[in-house]
Structure 1
Amino acid sequence: MLDQDEWRPLRDAHERRVDALTEPYLRRRERGVRHPVEDFLFEYYSHRPARLRRWHPGAGTVLLGPEAAERAGWRWHRTVPATGRGGAEATGVTLDVPAFLADRGRTVEFVAELLTATAGRTGHFGCFGLHEWAMVYRLPPEEVRHAALPLRLGAAGTDAVVEAHQIRCSHFDAYRFFTPPARPRNQLRPERSRQAELEQPGCLHANMDLYKWAYKLEPAVPGDLVADCFELARDVRVLDMRASPYDLSGYGHPPVRIETPEGKAEYVAAQRGFAQRARPLRERLLAVCRRLLATAGR
């Protein structure tokens, strides 16, 4: 139970943090300027900057004070009798967990299953980011997703890299963008129905997706955890594109040349670092899911 002078600084700090993270994107959007690395976080992921900015304390916390009363009309919130400082009676606002689970219970169960399965596996660190290469393999130039960016090695050189490697992509939402000629080259056949079976903690996209699972479970997930997952996704995205076949030097991103032994070593080291960063975030998200499900006796 938090009085207004306790929770408002938390909210204000969260808003300042998110403003710093999203301001460059919002400025570019006003000018109609696109960015091939950073826009992904706001286009592929559907969470708007304004929603990311909205702070939530998470399930089980009651907020007191006049400003908290404004939240009573928010979806999945309810008022509860509370005791303020000095024993004074007050009205608090908190997440209505039964109402939230009535609408989002299946999502909570799915996320809990997925995160549990992922956390229980050993990370695989031999993919070298070849999923981005497979997305342009034997593709006509006009169909390349980032057509405004040159391919570092050209179309033929990019195809040669794909053909010289074994591809082992376990993430469905990366694999589904493979070109038709690239799909048979993947050692695995990811499907949406097999996501919990295949997801593993070394995968860059699985770790980026912690942001997706965090915001899909708002407001049950605390705002600081959502922002932590966003920052991880932002940093992983940079590596994802630096290791891609595109030339991003014009955006200040030197390539990770995964076609070379040195580039592979650089990629794996960074990939392991992100897996370590993702582990406690995955554990915190899983703890939120388990508390919610325990409330409902599931």
Structure 2
Amino acid sequence: MTSDMRPPDPVVLPEELWRHREERHHTWVDHLTAEHLERRRRGEPHPVVDFLFTYYRTSVATVRRWHPGPGVLLEKAHRSERREWRHYRRATVAGRDGLVVDADSVWRRCGDRVSRARAVVTATAGRRGATGCFGLHEWAMLYRSGRDGVRHGQVPLRLTHERIDEVVRGSRLQCTHFDAFRFFTDDAVPLNREPLTRFGQVLDEQPACLHAGMDVYAHAAALEAGAPGELLLDALRAAFDAREVDMRSSPYDLSAWGLTPIPVETAEGRAEFVAFQKQWIARTQVLRARFLAAVDRVERLGGRVPADAR
């Protein structure tokens, strides 16, 4: 193999600069998650925020761990605890020692699931947003379920079961996200515009969907050290905002947590929900582009480079 097929040398990030970026990252994550951690210490569940760390199987500690992504040498980082972290290796560039993210290691551990995520994200990024769902997936999860059919058992409903059923029957369900659709009640499933499957995610996902955008956070977390910390943090910030709107649009009464409803059973509520979706499309399309760039960088710098070219 010729030398021009080898990955370029990493960019050197001086110790003072990378430690400043790391500390800034810690500050932002701590600000975003302090209340969640305090509630967890007290054993108090939260119907909005907990979802981001339980359903997605991530942790604050994971988000707090800042990475530069591949192709960057952190000067003198081999003298820090980072030398024990997964996916790092020691390297020297122009006489300067430090650690770099080992793209080979990332791809070996994460490549299969990240490749699947990339396919879904790429397809989603290439579509126009469809804003007609009005967040009715939580409603469909309660449809004709009776008084014992509440998914969030510690959260009261703001409407009667009869009114919830009436809203669902009077709406054209247009859910495009399989991981919401799979929780629909049996009676709600045939009311959706079309059936959804896991296999069909590449064909169905679209960028106005709140959950499709929140999934970018999970996809970035799955890339582990291959995802720059700024990407993971921005994706989590977006997920916080979307999850709040997601639950405010539901039939649940969140007043005990200081949240007012977005009454999507009314024209005014639906207009408010659509206005958020339009902003959400623009915000998450940027995150998708950044995620795809991070995956491509891992693949280019390690995962698909033939052994005899390294």
Normalising by the smaller structure, the TM-score range is over 0.9
Report what 2:29 is aligned to. 18
- Are residues 1:272 and 2:283 paired? no
Do structure 1's residue 156 and structure 2's residue 162 form an aligned pair? yes
Please tell me whether the aligned partners of residues 140 and 188 of structure 2 are also in contact (alpha carbons under 8 angstroms): yes
**Counterpart secondary structure, 1:143:** coil
- 1:148-207 superposed Cα distances (whole Å, 9 cap, x missing partner): 322222111001100001101110110111111111111121111111111100101001
2:4 is aligned to none
1:53 paired residue number: 64
Question: Equivalent residue of 2:226, what SS?
Answer: coil
Cα distance in 2 for partners of 1:30, 1:200 equals 37
User: 2:293 is matched with which residue?
Assistant: 287
Distance 2:117 2:250 in 1: 29
Of 253, 259, 265 in structure 2, the residue corresponding to residue 259 of structure 1 is 265
Show the counterpart of 2:112.
Answer: 106
Output the amino acid matched with 1:24: E
Aligned to 2:54, which of 43, 46, 55?
43
Q: Is the 8 A contact 1:199 1:206 kept in 2?
A: yes
1:147: Cα distance to partner? 2.3
Q: Cα distance, 1:115 vs. partner?
A: 1.3
1:94 equivalent in alignment to 2:100: yes
2:92 aligned residue: 81
> Which one has more relative contact order, counting CA pairs under 8 Å at least 6 apart?
2
- Following superposition of structure 1 onto structure 2, how do residues 1-298 of structure 1 map, counting pairs within 5 Å? 1-66=12-77, 69-83=80-94, 89-295=95-301, 296=304
Mean Cα deviation higher: 105-114 or 283-292 = 105-114
CA deviations on 1:103-128 (whole Å, 9 max, x unpaired) are: 22222322221111001111100000
Q: Which moved more, 1:177-186 or 1:138-147?
A: 138-147
Deviation sequence 1:21-69 (CA, Å, 0-9, x none): 1110111111111111111111112111111111111111111115655
Tell me how far apart the structure 1 counterparts of residues 79 and 246 of structure 2 sit (CA, whole Å): 40
SS of the equivalent of 2:44 reads coil
Kindly tell me: are residues 66 and 244 of structure 1, through their superposed partners in 2, closer, same or farther at Cα, counting changes over 3 Å?
Answer: closer
Which residue identity lines up with residue 33 of structure 2 in the other structure? T
Structure 2: runs of 5 or more not aligned: 1-11
- Contact 1:60–1:95 (8 Å) recurs in 2: yes
Are 1:37 and 1:241, in contact at CA under 8 Å, matched by a contact in 2?
yes
User: What CA distance in whole angstroms lies between the structure 2 residues aligned with 1:279 and 1:246?
Assistant: 29
**Is the Cα–Cα contact under 8 Å of residues 131 and 174 in structure 1 kept in the other structure?**
yes
Moved more, 68-77 or 55-64: 68-77
- Amino acid corresponding to residue 39 of structure 2 in structure 1: R
**Could you tell me how far apart the structure 1 residues matched to 2:230 and 2:217 are?**
11
Tell me which moved more, 61-70 or 118-127. 61-70
Q: Over aligned residue pairs, what C-alpha RMSD do you find?
A: 1.5
Question: Taking every aligned residue pair, what percent have the same amino acid on both sides?
Answer: 44
8 Å Cα contact 1:95-1:220 kept in structure 2? yes
CA distance in 2, matches of 1:91, 1:45: 36
Unaligned residue ranges in structure 1 (runs of 5+): 84-88
The alpha carbon displacement at 1:139 in A equals: 1.4
Q: Report the AA paired with residue 209 of structure 1.
A: D
Q: What SS does structure 2 have at the residue aligned with 1:193?
A: coil
